Amino acid sequence: MKHWLAALAALAAAGAFDGVANARTAGEILNSTAPEEWRAFDPEQVMVMTLADGAQVLIEFAPAFAPLAIANIKTLVRQNYFDGLAILRVQDNYVTQWGDPRAGSPQARSLGSATSAVRPEWSVRRGKAPFVELRDGDVYADDVGFSAGFPAARNGRDIWLTHCYGMVGVGREEAPESGSGAELYVVIGHAARHLDRNITLVGRVIEGMEKLSAFPRGTGPLGFYEVVDPSLTIQSVRIAADLPGGGPAAGLQALKESSKSFKELIEARRNREDAWYHRQADAIDLCNVPLPVRRAAPAG
Amino acid sequence: MKHWLAALAALAAAGAFDGVANARTAGEILNSTAPEEWRAFDPEQVMVMTLADGAQVLIEFAPAFAPLAIANIKTLVRQNYFDGLAILRVQDNYVTQWGDPRAGSPQARSLGSATSAVRPEWSVRRGKAPFVELRDGDVYADDVGFSAGFPAARNGRDIWLTHCYGMVGVGREEAPESGSGAELYVVIGHAARHLDRNITLVGRVIEGMEKLSAFPRGTGPLGFYEVVDPSLTIQSVRIAADLPGGGPAAGLQALKESSKSFKELIEARRNREDAWYHRQADAIDLCNVPLPVRRAAPAG
């Protein structure tokens, strides 16, 4: 066996294991996209969360699917509601959740002009959102694919966002309208598709996901932390549009799901050409499709 | 909103969000199993990895599927090969991998009497392993279900283990026989099903998974660590049969996939009766099915 760095280089060259940046054919596709195949993020639809160690997590909102919850979250953010709150819950292979450790107690932070109960936004009618279908089907829904930049599912009447890795939703109690957006969660494990259309998804993490997934798992029921540690504090949450020049959202782009390159990328992941693979899957499930994000090359 | 601890209690009572231990109906099923529905783990088929902080991870081997790789891993373990080696790679939403940071260099640890190349064990012929089918189908394979305690897939000819969360496999380079078991990985994200039948799976984590999934993600290509930190050291790896009384494997039991309770549990996860759910999925995909493990109640 070669030294592991040499072995790693060989693996990377062969596109071994994974990673769009390393899979040869997928990498080739992403290196030869046309500029118009990428869209900029609307800084009004990007939330920037700064963690205790200064790391930033960027979340893109999906206003086509959850306009009420997103409006309420923005109201909270613009009151600096989340600043100094904390990661509350990390349940392995499930979710990381954040909000006010004192919510519900007399010491709870005020929601200010935000509402404490937003009606559920679990799906939209077909025709209200675009849909690019993925061909390989799904265990849970009639069709799956992509809508407005997000993984989605569809039946004869409705379209809804799906609980793939990195998707962000609004925690709630038993009543459908009991979520306000003051407590949010992100999927950190195998897609929790049974939650689809049971809880409002508001967007997905487009940068910094590797921070939200690596917190120690909580030891209380449902992965709640029994002690809130300073390393779990949220320094601040801002809307990118409120930061100078759009803050870290500036220059960030997503590959359009309507683009030729995205279609080719899906094929390259259904059947991987690189030599490491001895058998092609000839299929891909929704939550294994990468939704590429890049920092735009500086203008020439 | 109630205080979060009160809210948590309410959620737990309602079986909200997830967790076999908390989902009311699944919990009821698991609380009323018959003793004979559980199997003990064979301590000869359980590997105990002790991490730098003393936490222990237990992995059950699948000898019906990968006898050669497992034999080689046991040879390595019984030479104390892994003691003092390290977590090498954590790639977000993909794998955690461990082995010798100096593999391939002149300072590499000797494999001793183990072999450096084991032929691939990617599937077995139908009839060579049991198979309990899951009814909801799959995107990747003709049938999916459970075999000898593990998630598995099947076509007209073969049965193979699948890359669900917590499954453990043998790292390899490009050649199919380039894996020895000296470097192992575990799935820490959405099921990486494109790896099925491309790399040898040897078992799954039955305890301690939440430790392997929460290491910081590596910053090098493919999530390799650029600097190996002392907190990433593996104290020791042992076969449970070599520990007094079977070590931490003693008293640990798995719910048999042939049991009535397991069938009922699957139904309880396809359609969740607790009040938090306003819409039933009426389906479940293979890697969302829990494979319950418990510590046996002391004899009465």
pLDDT digits (tens, 9 = 90+) for A73-127: 999 999 999 999 999 999 999 999 999 999 999 999 999 999 999 999 999 999 9
Q: What was the pLDDT predicted at B296?
A: 82
- Helices A24-31 + A260-270 axis angle, to 10: 170
Q: How many other C-beta atoms lie within 10 A of the C-beta of residue A106?
A: 6
Exposure string over A142-170, b if 16+ CB within 10 A, otherwise e: ebbbbbbbbbbbbeeebbbbbbbbbbbbb
The answer to whether A213 contacts B92, with C-beta atoms less than 8 Å apart, is yes
The predicted-structure confidence for B202-227, as pLDDT tens digits, reads as follows 999 999 999 999 999 999 999 999 99
- What does the block give as tokens for A60? 């893109």
For residue B1, give the nearest of A4, A104, A197 by CB distance.
A104
Q: What was the pLDDT predicted at A298?
A: 55
Q: Is the minimum CB–CB distance between A220 and chain B shorter than 8 Å?
A: yes
3-class SS of residue B262: helix
Higher pLDDT, B11 or A120: A120
Q: Give the list of residues 6+ apart from residue B241 with CB closer than 8 angstroms, or none.
A: B42, B43, B44, B46
Distance CA A75, CA A243 (A): 16
Q: Residues A251-276: what's their mean pLDDT?
A: 94
The predicted-structure confidence for A164-188, as pLDDT tens digits, reads as follows 999 999 999 999 999 999 999 999 9
> Which sign does the torsion angle of CA B258, B264, B269, B270 carry?
positive
Q: What was the pLDDT predicted at A27?
A: 87
Which residue in B has a C-alpha nearest to residue A117's C-alpha? B1
Collect all residues of chain B within an 8 Å Cβ-Cβ radius of residue A4. 88, 99-105, 224
ipTM above 0.90 for this complex: yes
Q: Is the minimum CB–CB distance between B174 and chain A shorter than 8 Å?
A: yes
Whether the predicted pLDDT of B6 surpasses 60: no
What is the residue type of B184?
L
Q: What was the pLDDT predicted at B298?
A: 55
Distance CA A211, CA A48 (A): 13
Q: Is the minimum CB–CB distance between A13 and chain B shorter than 8 Å?
A: no
The answer to whether A165 contacts B95, with C-beta atoms less than 8 Å apart, is no
The answer to whether A194 contacts B102, with C-beta atoms less than 8 Å apart, is no
HSE of B92, CA atoms in CB hemisphere, 13 A: 21
Distance CA B134, CA B131 (A): 9
Collect all residues of chain B within an 8 Å Cβ-Cβ radius of residue A277. 194, 198
Model confidence at A140, pLDDT cuts 50, 70, 90, reads very high
For residue B11, give the nearest of A100, A222, A281 by CB distance.
A222
For residue B7, give the nearest of A1, A104, A216 by CB distance.
A104
The predicted-structure confidence for A36-58, as pLDDT tens digits, reads as follows 999 999 999 999 999 999 999 99
Q: What was the pLDDT predicted at A57?
A: 98
B225-244 residues touching A, CB cutoff 8 A: none
Q: Is the minimum CB–CB distance between B291 and chain A shorter than 8 Å?
A: no
Q: Give the list of residues 6+ apart from residue B71 with CB closer than 8 angstroms, or none.
A: none
Helix (H) or strand (E) holding B265: helix B260-270
Q: What was the pLDDT predicted at B33?
A: 96
A87-116 residues touching B, CB cutoff 8 A: 88, 90-95, 99-105, 108, 116
Q: Is the minimum CB–CB distance between B55 and chain A shorter than 8 Å?
A: no
CA distances to A77, A218, A228, B51, B210 from A88, rounded to whole Å, are: 18, 8, 7, 25, 16
- What does the block give as tokens for B22? 């908390």
Shortest Cα–Cα distance, B276 to chain A (Å): 5
Shortest Cα–Cα distance, B256 to chain A (Å): 22
Helix (H) or strand (E) holding A99: strand A95-99
Q: Is the minimum CB–CB distance between B125 and chain A shorter than 8 Å?
A: no
How far is residue B85 CA from its own chain's centroid? 20
